[in-house]
Amino acid sequence: MVILDLKLNNVLGFKDIHFNFTYPKKLRKNSLGEECLKGVPNFRYKKVNVVMGSNSNGKSSLGKTIWGLCLFFRKKESNNLIKLMSDGSDSMNISIDYVCASETQKYILNRVAIRVKKDENLTTGYSIKMDYDCVTLRGDDTYETACKNLVRKIYNLDYLDCLNAISHSDGWFIAMPITETGFDKFELELEKPNRELFSNILFKVLNTLDPNIQSSTVSNEIDDAYIIKFDDGKNTIVKSGDRITDIRYLSSGTKYGFIIATVIYSIGKQHNGLFYIDELFSYVDSDIEIAILNLMISLLGDCEQLFFSTHNSEVLLLPYPLHSFMFLGKEKVDDQIKIKTICASDVEKRNNVVVKNLYDNDYFDISPDSSRIFEIEELFDNGEQ
């Protein structure tokens, strides 16, 4: 699954925001290789999206929104959608364009619009109306030409009828910090032959994070369990379903190695299609984060897409196309503070500039206001301690 366009209003922290994950013309040089669908060379999409922004600026909310939508499409349960609603007194609107591969290996561009409103007369307390259209892509299509064949209707479909019609064959992988509800868990159930591969990946990740880790082996006695051995003879067993925070002997960053290895495995096996990796590397060395990011990119397959949110501005030194860097910030409009999005390629057309230099000078106007921090000193100076 590849997301091409996303419009959100009254969704978590987002008010009237528009994300676009396509780019207008082929680049002469692109270090990410071909960023298009296989066999549809002009259908250009942003395969890699590095998402940056200060705290509370929507990085995790974007991941949760995508996750909630995927769950809603797959499970057809309205609560996955309703919990994304921010202000109950207003309607929530979502519009998404995405591509997925059909069973006949053709690509289908889908456009789904959803409107959720409070309605006390319904048992769920909410009315959900949807509109849906799709088109099979031709070999010479661009996103723009394919969109012309989509006819937007008004919200006239019941959501279950609409969801039954939607093509949504692909999976997704959302990884969030373990402080997020439900994410403090190592979860990977594999067939026996695949456990060896995962164990190898796990060892390479853990050993990079902590060279004292000597090996990772598949447990013969417990399903989906891995024995981690240290050079001083200690060992710990970790099995699918275990809480990450409960893993013994590992440092905070090394514990994240279990999630990181799971992500790498999933991308490498091309199980999911859409990956949202949200600030998973806050406890991990910058060089290791950058190495793993580039490995993930190399492993990404056709009709797949990676979102990678981080606070590490060193990532901005990487020679990706400008359209790969997306920033989230806040702006004051009519007395309201809103989240805004800006892509590096929106404001800078030269592709040979280092985005880090622009970021350091707050070219994207997303720098946090740290003046409150410095005011704390004044509290002590004023004798309020």
Partner 1 sequence: MGNNNLIQYFVEGECEEKFINVFKTGSDAFLKAGKVEVLNPVNKIITEARARTIKQNTTVVLVYDIDKGNIDVLLSNIKTLKNHSLTKIIHIQSVMNFEDEIVRSTSINSIDEMFSTKGVENFKEKFIGHKNIKSKLEKVKFDNSIFWSKVYRNGQFKDFAIKGSIKNIRKE
Q: Min. distance of Cβ 357 from partner 1 in angstroms?
A: 7
Closer Cβ to partner 1, 220 or 371, answer by number? 371
Of the ranges 42-50, 76-84, 222-230, 359-367, which one interacts with partner 1 (CB under 8 A)?
Answer: 359-367
Torsion of CA 376, 378, 384, 385, to 10 degrees: 60
Q: Min. distance of Cβ 137 from partner 1 in angstroms?
A: 33
Q: Total residues at the site for partner 1 (CB under 8 A)?
A: 23
Q: What is the token pair recorded at 91? A: 């309607």
* Strands, sheet with 157-158, edge to edge from the N-terminal-most edge strand: 17-20, 2-9, 92-101, 107-118, 126-136, 157-158
Q: Min. distance of Cβ 297 from partner 1 in angstroms?
A: 22
Q: How far apart are CA 134 and CA 147, in angstroms?
A: 9
Q: How far apart are CA 151 and CA 131, in angstroms?
A: 10
Q: Min. distance of Cβ 353 from partner 1 in angstroms?
A: 11
Q: Does 370 engage in binding with partner 1 (CB under 8 A)?
A: yes
Q: Does 222 engage in binding with partner 1 (CB under 8 A)?
A: no
DSSP 144-166: HHHHHT-----S-EEHHHHHHH-
> Residue for token digits 């590992």?
250
Closer Cβ to partner 1, 89 or 361, answer by number? 361
Closer Cβ to partner 1, 122 or 347, answer by number? 347
Closer Cβ to partner 1, 25 or 372, answer by number? 372
| Residue type present at position 316 | L
Closer Cβ to partner 1, 221 or 380, answer by number? 380
Q: Does 384 engage in binding with partner 1 (CB under 8 A)?
A: no
Question: Considering only residues 258-317, where is the footprint of partner 1 by CB under 8 A?
Answer: 317
Torsion of CA 265, 266, 267, 271, to 10 degrees: 140
Instruction: Please tell me whether residue 362 adopts helix, strand or coil conformation.
Output: coil
* Strands, sheet with 225-230, edge to edge from the N-terminal-most edge strand: 213-218, 225-230, 235-239
Closer Cβ to partner 1, 136 or 312, answer by number? 312
Main-chain dihedrals φ then ψ at residue 90, nearest 5 degrees: -120, 165
Q: Does 249 engage in binding with partner 1 (CB under 8 A)?
A: no
Among 160, 291, 347, 379, binds partner 1 (CB under 8 A): 347
Q: How far apart are CA 46 and CA 304, in angstroms?
A: 10
Question: Considering only residues 310-339, where is the footprint of partner 1 by CB under 8 A?
Answer: 317, 332-335
Instruction: Please tell me whether residue 316 adopts helix, strand or coil conformation.
Output: helix
Q: Min. distance of Cβ 298 from partner 1 in angstroms?
A: 24
How far is C-alpha 71 from the geometric centre of its chain's CA atoms? 14
Closer Cβ to partner 1, 229 or 356, answer by number? 356
Among 29, 349, 350, 372, binds partner 1 (CB under 8 A): 349
Q: Min. distance of Cβ 355 from partner 1 in angstroms?
A: 12
Q: Min. distance of Cβ 349 from partner 1 in angstroms?
A: 8
Site residues, partner 1 (CB under 8 A): 317, 332-335, 347, 349, 354, 356-358, 360-365, 367, 369-371, 374, 377
